[in-house]
Amino acid sequence: MRKLTRKEVLEIVEKAHEQGKAPDLSEEDLYGADLRWAKLNGADFNGANLSGANLSEANLFEANLSGVDLNRANLSGADLRRADLRGADLTEVMLNDTNFSNAIIEKTIFVEVDLSQTIGLATVIHKGSPIIDINTIYKSKVKFHGYF
Ordered by where they begin, the domains of the chain are 1-148 (2.160.20.80)
Query: Are the C-beta atoms of residues 69 and 89 closer than 8 Å to each other?
Result: yes
C-alpha–C-alpha distance, residues 74 and 12, integer Å: 22
DSSP 131: E
Q: Minimal CA–CA distance to 41: which of 28, 58, 29, 55? A: 58
C-alpha–C-alpha distance, residues 77 and 118, integer Å: 9
Confidence (pLDDT) at 21: 94
- SS3 at position 17: helix
- SS3 at position 140: helix
Confidence (pLDDT) at 3: 87
Confidence (pLDDT) at 137: 87
Query: Are the C-beta atoms of residues 104 and 125 closer than 8 Å to each other?
Result: yes
Digitized pLDDT (tens) for each residue of the chain, 148 residues in all: 668 899 999 999 999 999 999 999 999 999 999 999 999 999 999 999 999 999 999 999 999 999 999 999 999 999 999 999 999 999 999 999 999 999 999 999 999 999 999 999 999 999 988 999 999 988 887 655 555 5
Confidence (pLDDT) at 144: 59
C-alpha–C-alpha distance, residues 100 and 78, integer Å: 9
